[in-house]
Amino acid sequence: MSRRPYFLAFVLLIALGSCSINEEASMKGCPISQYDNSKLVKGQLAYLAPSSWTETETSNPMRFKEYILDPQSKTNVAVYFFKDIQNQLEPNLRRWKNQFRDDKARTLLEKKQFNRFKLPITVYHLTGAFLEQETMADPNSKVTIKPDSALLAAVVEMKEGTWFFKTVGPTAVIASHRKSFDDLVFSFRAEE
């Protein structure tokens, strides 16, 4: 007796029982309880934080949430939500670009804009020497140059405000977590 039909049935059961965040069609069937929606209200963004990320206390009161991406390098993903703020994409991308030393090492790897579930999303990926400021609010504070760094960010513009998901860390760390970041982006949907 062949085991092939049983194997195929087993694979099909697993596929039907899971909720893929990579396919738009299957996203519609995902229960909202799988999303990190503890602070959301109607009209805001719902998203599924990757299981490899660890939520931590926010280190800045402006941050909506914060996740540890890589504890060894102290690389975190910061989530910001600015209510009633629109049309701030390009100024923020310029500001982020200027956080990297202006030399031949500074490279824009990706600036991709697309719509998903009617949400305008921008993914931005930059590498180079990061100019880490001791105090972000003080432009005259001490700056530490961190070569071989990368910035990976996603911006979601909604009528209620703009969401920013941003991480900066060693290039190798950001590259190794790119898939989980893409999974986060593919999970974005508007809370209804």
Locate tokens 């993903």: which residue? 77
What is the per-residue pLDDT across 89-137, written as a single tens digit (0 to 9) for each? 999 999 999 999 999 999 999 999 999 988 999 999 999 999 999 887 7
The pLDDT mean for the chain works out to 80
Q: Give pLDDT, residue 24.
A: 36
> Once rounded to an integer, what is the mean pLDDT over residues 14-39?
36
Q: How many domains does the chain have?
A: 1
CATH of the domain at 21: 3.40.1000.10
Tokens of 87: 């049309």
pLDDT at 25 > cutoff 60: no
pLDDT at 61 > cutoff 70: yes
pLDDT at 20 > cutoff 60: no
Q: How far apart are CA 133 and CA 139, in angstroms?
A: 8
Sequence-separated (6 or more) residues with CB below 8 Å from residue 46: 32, 35, 36, 37, 40, 187, 188, 189, 190, 191
Q: Give pLDDT, residue 164.
A: 95
Q: How far apart are CA 157 and CA 154, in angstroms?
A: 10
Q: Which domain holds residue 42?
A: 4-190
